[in-house]
Amino acid sequence: MAKENSCLTRVATGAVIGGAIGGAVGSVYGTYEALRFKVPGFLKIRHIGQRTVSSAALFGLFLGAGSLIHCGKSY
């Protein structure tokens, strides 16, 4: 029972850390992209927000899946 809880904790932690890193990278990239393509007015805020959320979700998903795969291995 403790091993299942430990695995679930690892997957959740991996997803949260991936979301944080993905959000940080997405906000920097979204800001750069909005300034580079000269997105007008309040659309900059929307563009940066979309990039941040999509990058955080994608990176969190992959890091959580990687943690799940790694959790099944025993050394």
Whether 60 maps to a domain, the answer reads yes
Tell me which residue range forms the domain holding 54: 12-71
Assess whether pLDDT exceeds 80 at residue 21: yes
| Of 45, 46, 52, the residue nearest 20 (C-alpha) | 52
Average pLDDT rounded to a whole number, residues 21-33: 96
Mind listing the pLDDT tens digit for each residue in 30-70?
999 999 999 999 999 999 999 999 999 999 999 999 999 98
Token pair of 3 as six digits: 């091993």
pLDDT (0 to 100) of residue 22: 97
Alpha-carbon distances of 27 from 4, 45, 50, 68, rounded to whole Å: 34, 10, 9, 27
Q: Distance from CA of residue 66 to its chain's centroid?
A: 13
pLDDT (0 to 100) of residue 71: 85
Question: How many domains does the chain contain in total?
Answer: 1
Assess whether pLDDT exceeds 50 at residue 1: no
| Of 4, 6, 2, 15, the residue nearest 67 (C-alpha) | 15
Tell me the whole-structure pTM to 2 decimals.
0.83
